[in-house]
Amino acid sequence: MKRLRPSPLLAAAILLSLLWVSPCRADSAGPSNSDLKVMADTVWVMIAAMLVFFMNLGFGCVESGFCRAKNCVNILSKNFIVFAMATIAFWVLGFGLMFGEGNRWVGEKGLLFVSNGADKEMLTKDVAANAFKALVKEKLGKDLSDEKIAKSEEALLKQIDEVADSVVKNVTKAEESYTATLTVGTTKLEKKFDGKEFYWDNYPSLNWTTVPLWAKFFFQLVFAGTCATIVSGAVAERIKYLSFILFSFLLIMLVYPVVGHWIWGGGLLAPGEGNLFGKDRGMFDFAGSTVVHSVGGWAALAGVIVLGARIGKYGPDGKVHAIPGHNMTAAFIGCLVLWFGWFGFNPGSTMAADIHGITRVAVTTNTAAAFATLTATITAWILLGKPDIGMTLNGCLAGLVAITAPCAFVSVGNSAIIGAIAGVLVVFAVLMFDRLRIDDPVGATSVHLVNGVFGSIAVGLFGEKEMIVNGAKVPTGLLNDGFFISGGMDQLIPQVVGVLVVAAYAFPVSLVLWVILRYTVGIRVTAAEEIEGLDLGEHGNESYHGFVMAAASTEIPSEGAEPRSALVPPNDVKRFKAVVEGISPTELATVWSDLCQPQTNGIAADFKTVYPYLTTFQGATFRFRGGDPEQIRTSLERLLKGRMPQQPVKVRVET
């Protein structure tokens, strides 16, 4: 049997643990149970946050794999820099708007730079008790910190504990004050506690978790970064790099945190007096089907509409042309990384080392992903005739998105149903968006928007306010059972209305931001850059520099073709160029791209004459190497006139 070698990190952790409980420490009592819970909670939350951060690798691989090789650098660069932009935007303002104490619309306190106010002592039960112990020592001469005296004054200590409890109940914010009285025999000891003298958390909506403020911030930050990353895939292969960076910054600073405040920050859609549904009802989204995924989806949809489709995606006759991704290996790796990272995304949202909560959420998350993977594969097989791997991967992601809101509120059996529905939905959504001519290269809107909405509604359908744990009923945190559990609408209505309210804010605001960017810095690259590829046009780099992407040949591509540098003809062949007149470069790029797609009537003879000798196409100029110049000129002119008979198209040859 091979002997296991202990990890140096594990050894260091054990050593530190031994030092912590060592008698050599001045405080031989060691940490209290509450201290240990905070430590465990914090370690779990930080590990979960790091798993979610690791999902950036998954998004980069999935998106680059689903897109063409000529845009790979651009997509990787966007997925890398987007988290940097999200970090800055969320730190500067986003976190404060989302979780700061304020009104039902936005946070108002601690807005900038995660500021938690003056450096004062927090009013806790221990602080109040210690204040009275000091008063007892001063007025009565009894030092209750002495163990012998404390043992003889157990009744007094109990009385102090009760008084301290009344203090923290009566002073809950800076504007409040309370005078507490401790009666010892015939002596009355009074002390006034003024709220202004103590520290108050600017982010009370996060007080349900025991972890430190920066742990809360970091965990919420990685969720904000995920929201921004969703947009990247939908607008891929034609968006300006700068425009994407600017939009990501604005999304995380102004759109995402407002919705987050409404649901997670105690605002408009959360349970509470003065909010939309009152204190006994509210929208629940455990880990972000709406807050993260559908907000990112609405922003992505707005961007796709303003940006327009990629050149060649849709023909003049309305036909949808498939533009296959270049690397399904990368897409597979990315999807697996995302599946793995989701075990930080959903179970981590407990924000506590709750063994029952973490394990149940992990299982519901995994079950939904598994069933969605299968149903998406089967649905694609039936509709498309083949088990398309792209649909399989997106099916898995759809199941993960759909279970994100209800993962803590549903049984494992119901998580299977939610996943199964999500897998079917994503396939139909991809086909629907294509028919609507909404060009989303990676299916981000189908995965994150459609299934983010479905997952949020699923809380109102399958959610349970109590579950059996070790034979006892345990509250899940949900206020009302879902429709299929109780037959009632008390949870379904807030979920449906909440989805509509979020859509009414996130989509139009994102649309306005995209339009502003369009008419200021511009959002779309030129047709020439798009055809050549954003790697060279935007970055001056190639992802596969030095690689031969296709073997030299004179064959005409039969399917999936796109405008590209033509095959390399033999040496010493005459070079010439054909310049097209009477049509704009943008129109020409669209027509030529469409000609390069599979045709229902087969490949035209004129196209066979032109294509084998074409080396580059940019603007209005086609460059050739080999072939008969006059024959190529005639065939090219005939091809273009056939597509645009109303245009005065002329082609002239220059040597």
pLDDT in tens, 137-172: 888 888 888 888 878 888 888 999 999 999 988 988
Structure confidence at residue 548 (pLDDT): 54
Is residue 310 assigned to a domain? yes
Kindly report the three-state secondary structure assignment for every residue of 540-598. CCCCCCCCCCCCCCCCCCCCCCCCCCCCCCCCCCCEEEEEEECCCHHHHHHHHHHHCCC
Q: In degrees to the nearest 10, what's the CA dihedral of 210, 214, 220, 224?
A: 180
Among 487, 518, 549, residue at a domain's last position: 518
Task: Tell me the β-bridge partners of 578.
Answer: 622, 653
Report the pLDDT value the prediction gives residue 334, as an integer from 0 to 100: 98
User: Distance (Å, rounded) from C-alpha 468 to C-alpha 330?
Assistant: 41
Task: Please give the C-alpha separations between residue 273 and each of 92, 103, 281, 494, in angstroms, as whole numbers.
Answer: 29, 11, 10, 15
* 421 shares a domain with 397: yes
Query: What pairs with residue 190 in β-bridges?
Result: 181
Average pLDDT value over all residues in the chain: 88
- Interval 559-589: pLDDT, tens: 444 444 444 444 456 789 999 998 888 888 8
Residues 290 and 376 in one domain: yes
Q: Which of 481, 206, 472 is nearest to 356 (CA)?
A: 472
What is the rounded distance in angstroms from the CA atom of residue 136 to the CA atom of residue 144?
8
Given the structure tokens 């690259």, which residue do they identify? 525
Among 113-122, 368-377, 492-501, the minimum mean pLDDT is found in: 113-122
Nearest to 304 by CA among 201, 200, 231, 372: 231
> pLDDT tens digits, residue range 70-83?
999 999 999 999 99
Q: Which of 200-214, 237-251, 368-382, 472-486 has the lowest mean pLDDT?
A: 200-214
pLDDT score recorded for residue 2: 41
Q: 545-574: b or e for each residue (b if 16 or more CB lie within 10 Å)?
A: eeeeeeeeeeeebeeebbbbebbebeeeee
Indicate whether 100 and 239 sit together in one domain. yes
Q: Do residues 403 and 467 share a domain?
A: yes
Q: How far is CA 409 from CA 222, 242, 277, 595, in A?
A: 23, 41, 19, 52
- Alpha-carbon gap, residue 232 to 235, rounded angstroms: 6
For every residue of 59-107, which 3-state class applies, written as one string? HHHHHHHHCCHHHHHHHHHHHHHHHHHHHHHHHHHHHHHHHCCECCCCE
Give how far Cα 163 sits from Cα of 150, 153, 168, 176, 655, Å. Answer: 17, 15, 9, 17, 97
Instruction: Looking at the structure, tell me whether residues 263 and 313 fall in a common domain.
Output: yes
The pLDDT, as a whole number, for residue 21 is: 45
Where is the domain boundary, 498, 518, 538?
A: 518
Residue 501 and residue 452 share a domain: yes
Residue 467 has pLDDT above 90, yes or no: yes
> How far apart (Å, rounded) are the C-alpha atoms in residues 247 and 526?
19
- Whether residue 545 is predicted with pLDDT greater than 60 in this model: the reply is yes
CB crowding 407-444: b at 16 or more within 10 Å, else e: bbbbbeebbbbbbbbbbbbbbebbbebbeeebbbbbbb
Q: Are 424 and 376 a contacting pair, CB within 8 Å?
A: yes
- Domain shared by 192 and 83, yes or no: no
* pLDDT exceeds cutoff 60 at 466: yes
Range of the domain at 59: 34-115+216-518
Residue 98 contacts residue 107 (beta carbons within 8 Å): yes
Give the model's confidence band at 592: pLDDT under 50 very low, under 70 low, under 90 confident, else very high.
Answer: confident
How many Cβ atoms sit within 10 Å of the Cβ of residue 327?
19
Same-domain status, 168 and 75: no
Nearest-angstrom CA–CA distance, 585 and 535: 21
Residue 179: inside a domain: yes
User: What is the structure's pLDDT at 111?
Assistant: 93
Q: What is the mean pLDDT of residues 508-515?
A: 98
pTM for the whole thing? 0.78
What is the phi/psi pair of residue 27, to 5°? -90, 85
Position 405 scores a pLDDT of: 98
Report which residue type is found at 397. L
| pLDDT at 606 exceeding the cut of 90 | no
Q: 8 pLDDT exceeds 50?
A: no
356 and 266 within one domain:
yes
pLDDT tens digit sequence for 185-242: 888 999 999 888 876 778 989 989 989 999 999 999 999 999 999 999 999 999 999 9
CA atoms within 13 A on the CB side of 649: 24
pLDDT value of residue 483: 97
What gap in Å lies between CA 207 and CA 201, rounded to an integer? 8
Confirm whether 9 is domain-assigned: no
In a domain, 10, yes or no: no
CB 362 within 8 A of CB 343: yes
Over residues 411-461, the pLDDT tens digits come to 999 999 999 999 999 999 999 999 999 999 999 999 999 999 999 999 999
Residue 18 lies in a domain: no
pLDDT surpassing 60 at residue 96: yes
Output the pLDDT for position 605: 85
- Percent of the chain, pLDDT > 90? 64
233 shares a domain with 143: no
594 inside domain? yes
Average pLDDT value for residue range 237-260: 97
| Residue 13: inside a domain | no
Q: Which position has the token pair 């024959």?
A: 631
Residue 81 to residue 510: CA distance in whole angstroms: 20
The residues near 137 (Cβ < 8 Å, ≥ 6 apart) are 143, 144
Question: CATH number, domain at 432?
Answer: 1.10.3430.10
pLDDT tens string 609-638: 888 888 888 888 998 888 889 999 999 999
Q: Name the 3-class secondary structure at 314.
A: strand
Q: Which residues, in sequence order, are bridge partners of residue 320?
A: 314
- The answer to whether residues 510 and 592 belong to one domain is no
Residue 221 pLDDT:
98
The number of domains in the chain is 3
- To 5 degrees, how large is the angle CA 337–CA 341–CA 343? 135
Asked whether residue 409 is domain-assigned, the answer is: yes
Q: Which of 486, 518, 550 is the last residue of a domain?
A: 518
Cα 311 from Cα 593, distance rounded (Å): 6
The pLDDT assigned to 119 comes to 56
Q: Judge if 362 and 444 occupy the same domain.
A: yes
Query: Which class for 449: exposed (0-12), middle (13-18), buried (19 or more C-beta within 10 A)?
Result: buried
5, 171 contact by CB (below 8 A):
no
